[in-house]
Amino acid sequence: MAIERTFSIIKPDATHRNLTGAVNAKLEAAGLRIVAQKRIHMTRAQAEGFYAVHKERPFFGELTEFMSSAPVVVQVLEGEDAVAKNREVMGATNPEEAVPGTIRKEYALNIGENSVHGSDSLENAATEIAYFFKDEEIVG
């Protein structure tokens, strides 16, 4: 197993309900270290750029409107197998399908307002981290 870095977002539905600490507690309990973190309010253009891979999907408008509707917390998480570990602790995209104890099972409202985002591969993690963080902002 290797030490990896992955990218995470605590989404507007979670920040709005004051769940930043609750989500972070789950991440840390899973062995992930939050090595960078900032609260930002994304512009619509930033959200569209971040989710560009989904631009042909029917939910793209809804997704980017939601992600730019209120503050989010963007994070870099570090740990052994961080990409897979974060996806495990997040749970399935649709909270109805998520395993009990996962972040989405406990906190997500629906498939769109699903509390967290996490990179799906090491390659995408590097791209997504670079979209929001400069190297010097990741302090370990």
Q: Which stretch binds ligand CMP (CB under 6 A): 12-20, 30-38, 110-118, 131-139?
A: 110-118
| Segment (H or E) for 88 | helix 82-90
Q: Are 109 and 49 in contact (CB under 8 A)?
A: no
Q: Catalytic site residue 41?
A: no
**Residue 31, token pair as written in the block:** 């062995």
117 makes contact with ligand CMP (CB under 6 A): yes
Which of these, 69, 87, 99, 91, lies nearest to 125 by C-alpha position? 87
User: Which residue number, 54 or 55, has a Cβ lying nearer to ligand CMP?
Assistant: 54
Active centre residues (catalytic):
117
Where along the sequence are the contacts to ligand CMP (CB under 6 A)? 54, 59, 62-63, 93, 111-112, 114, 117
